[in-house]
Structure 1
Amino acid sequence: MASTYTFADPRLAKLDGFQVEIDEARERADIILNRPPLNVVSMPERDQLRLVFETLDEDARVRVIVVRSVGEHFSSGGNIGGFMEATPEKVSQLAWNIASPARCSKPVIVANRGYCFGVGFELSLACDFRIISETTLYALPEQKLGQIPGSGGSARLQKMVGITRTKDIVMRSKRITAKQAFDWGIATECVPDAELEKATDRLVDELRTFSPLAQRTAKKLLNDTEDSTLSIAIELEGHCYSRLRQSDDFKEGVEAFNAKRPPKFIGS
């Protein structure tokens, strides 16, 4: 049973536009955008989201983090007026805040439906798994405001779909349908809208069956080697493999395999 997450940090005493729930039995924490109907993301909300991810990353009760929303749209983007009120220094921090799902050592799933524009899309791109409803529309519409994406959107998207498609999306403020997103490798899974929550639940339960240590290692390795040469990536993979060879979880995994029983990983 999920309950409201209690934060010790006074900066998180009152959350701006979202809520956080924890289900200890399922080792799951949910970050829920809750400013319907469009779930516009405010400037203070960006700072708080970073702090929340950092807090959940340190919480031993949480194995998997889910980002989702209330209503038919994930998020139409950021609060436009907030950009004009923020200092250039503050604006330069936007990408660091929104990259917090990628920096988090734990698996992060985002469940998208409806509008997923601007920072809503950028936040989703920073997550590890994107489960999307067939109603999802992705877009980076900043060109219509005389701007460019500022929270990692164009950079992350280019890594996923290449420069040609990214120019088409960014420079034309073009919307991407759910089918395109799945076909292009942006989305992990695309399901009917009514099945979004069930598909997310299934992935949470699946990820919990793996070793927490192996999951953290895999995520960091893949993130760290995204821009490296093949030879360096293989070298780092070997070092990570060697380190895991000494773990309790690997020993348990081998013993469970030989005994033909489910493993009981402890994360060490």
Structure 2
Amino acid sequence: MTQLAHPAHSLLAELDGFHVEFNSADSRADIVLDRPPFNIVSMHQREQLRLTFEALDANDAVRVIVVRAKGEHFSSGGDIKGFIEASPEHVAKLAWNVASPARCSKPVIAANRGYCFGVGFELSLACDFRIATETTLYALPEQKLGQIPGSGGSARLQKMVGIGRTKDIVMRSRRITGSQAYEWGIATEFVADAELESATDSLVRELLAFSPLAQRTAKKLLNDTEDAPLSVAIELEGLNYSRLRSSDDFREGVEAFHQKRRAAFKGS
């Protein structure tokens, strides 16, 4: 039988511009951007990030994923030279790679401080939760290069804040502060810069207290029904609700409620 080979087998052998921190005791995995001082994201790194999300999604010991960065800035964006050198076929994959947090079945948190530009912003937009601070600046500056966002930035942003505000951000390459992002609904939390890590830890603990099965179901349902008509969304919600009714976690949740104790969910 022919030996099958796949580039993914070796693609994660040496991570480019980031590392992963994981402790099975806390069920949390951190993807840490680590190319100081601005954590520029290379073309190669984007594909590695996709595979990393897929690997963590397949790991039953991981319940919550955090994307954060070393230093003062989350990311100033992508490697500009890499766009010129990459083939059209490779560039066409960018949005798919950057969307990997959204496809991941587990909750994903982006901890944003400092610059969060270009692909750094797009990667954060693909996460489920974004925590911003008073140092955070969000931007899609591609117009300054004669380009447009190419990894889902304008599309995701328009879903969140509408076409008017998205045009204001994209067409003017406008920078949005963390507080304004929170007011507009882009950031889900806004905290003092010194509190970013503790706020992230707190959200992780909160998410871990819920049923992992219910969390996965809620995320997929919300993603799948984002563009669905109301009648379809309600129908799918009902079907998922019915399916969870027969789960061990739902039974445990009901019993814990009546016994006035904390539920011990197992994800089944």
Q: Shift of the alpha carbon at 1:40?
A: 0.2
> What residue number does 1:5 align with?
none
Aligned counterparts of 2:10 and 2:44: Cα–Cα separation in 1: 14
Aligned-pair CA distance for 1:24: 1.1
- Answer yes or no: is the 8 Å Cα contact 2:65–2:109 preserved in 1: yes
Q: CA deviation at 1:9?
A: 4.0
Give the 3-state SS of the residue equivalent to 1:162 in structure 2: helix
CA positional deviation for 1:258 = 0.5
The runs of at least 4 consecutive aligned structure 1 residues that moved more than 4 Å come to none
Residue 153 of structure 2 aligns with which residue?
153
Q: Can you give the 5+ residue segments of structure 1 that lack an aligned partner in the other structure?
A: 1-7
Q: How many residues align?
A: 261
Give the SS at the match of 1:163.
helix
- For 2:133 and 2:74, the matched residues in 1 are separated by 10
Q: Report percent identity of matched pairs.
A: 76
Query: Counterpart amino acid of 2:149?
Result: P
Note the C-alpha offset of 1:89: 0.7
CA–CA distance in structure 2, aligned partners of residues 233 and 208 of structure 1: 26
Is it true that 1:56 corresponds to 2:56 in the alignment? Answer: yes
Counterparts of 1:49-88 in structure 2, within 5 Å, are 49-88=49-88
Q: 2 CA distance for matches of 1:11 and 1:117?
A: 26
Whole-angstrom CA distance in 2 between matches of 1:142 and 1:55: 31
Distance 2:211 2:197 in 1: 24
| Superposed CA RMSD | 0.8
Deviation at residue 201 of structure 1 after TM alignment: 0.1
- Equivalent residue, structure 2, for 1:141: 141
Counterpart of 1:233? 233
Measured in 1, the distance between the counterparts of 2:190 and 2:122 equals: 18
Q: Report whether the alignment pairs 1:216 with 2:245.
A: no
Query: Could you tell me which residue of structure 1 aligns to residue 190 of structure 2?
Result: 190
Match of 2:244 in 1: 244
TM-score with structure 2 setting the length:
0.97
Alpha-carbon offset, residue 13 of structure 1: 1.1
Match for 1:267: what amino acid? G
Superposed, 1:88-107 pairs within 5 Å as 88-107=88-107
Over residues 145-199 of structure 1, what are the superposed CA-to-partner deviations in whole Å (9 max), with x where a residue is unaligned? Answer: 0000000000000000000000010001000011110000000101000000000
- SS of 2:73's equivalent in the other structure is coil
